[in-house]
Chain A
Amino acid sequence: DIQMTQSPSSLSASVGDRVTISCQASQDISNYLNWYQQKPGKPPKLLIYDASNLETGVPSRFSGSGSGTDFTFTISSLQPEDIATYYCQQYDNLFTFGPGTKVDIK
Chain B
Amino acid sequence: EVQLVESGGGLVQPGGSLRLSCAASGFTFSSYSINWVRQAPGKGLEWVSYISSSSSTIDYADSVKGRFTISRDNGKNSLYLQMNSLRAEDTAVYYCTFGRGHWGQGTLVTVSS
Give A residues with C-beta under 8 Å from B. 34, 36, 38, 43-46, 49, 55, 87, 89, 94-100
Q: How far is the CA of A94 from the CA of B59 in the complex (A)?
A: 8
Interface contact A34-B35, CB-CB below 8 Å? no
A44 x B100 contact (CB < 8 A): no
A95-B35, A95-B37 in contact; A46/B100 too (CB < 8 A)? yes
Interface residues of B (CB under 8 A from A): 35, 37, 44-47, 50, 59, 95, 97, 100-101, 103-106
**Docked CA distance A65–B104 (Å):** 27
Known: A94-B50, A95-B37. A45 touches B101 (CB 8 A): yes
User: What's the minimum C-beta distance from B55 to chain A, rounded to whole angstroms?
Assistant: 16
Please name all residues of chain B whose beta carbon is closer than 8 Å to the beta carbon of A97 when the two chains form the complex: 37, 44-47
Identify the closest chain A residue to B60 (Cβ).
A94
**Nearest Cβ on chain A to B6's Cβ, whole angstroms:** 10
A55 to B100, CA, bound (A): 9
Known A-B contacts A87-B45, A97-B44; A43 and B50 likewise in contact (beta carbons under 8 Å): no
CB distance from A24 to the nearest CB of B (A): 16
Can you list 24 residue pairs at the A/B interface with Cβ under 8 Å? A34-B101, A38-B45, A43-B97, A43-B103, A43-B105, A43-B106, A44-B45, A45-B101, A49-B101, A55-B100, A55-B101, A87-B44, A89-B45, A94-B35, A94-B47, A94-B59, A95-B47, A96-B47, A97-B37, A97-B44, A97-B45, A97-B47, A99-B44, A100-B44
Cβ contacts under 8 Å, A89 to chain B = 45
Task: Give 17 new A-B contacts, CB below 8 A, not counting A55-B100, A100-B44.
Answer: A36-B101, A43-B97, A43-B103, A43-B104, A43-B105, A43-B106, A44-B45, A45-B101, A46-B100, A46-B101, A55-B101, A87-B44, A94-B35, A94-B59, A95-B47, A97-B37, A97-B46
Which 3 pairs show the lowest CB-CB distances between chains A and B? A46-B101, A95-B47, A43-B103
Closest to A1 in B: B62
Contacting residues, chain A, for B101 (C-beta < 8 A)? 34, 36, 45-46, 49, 55
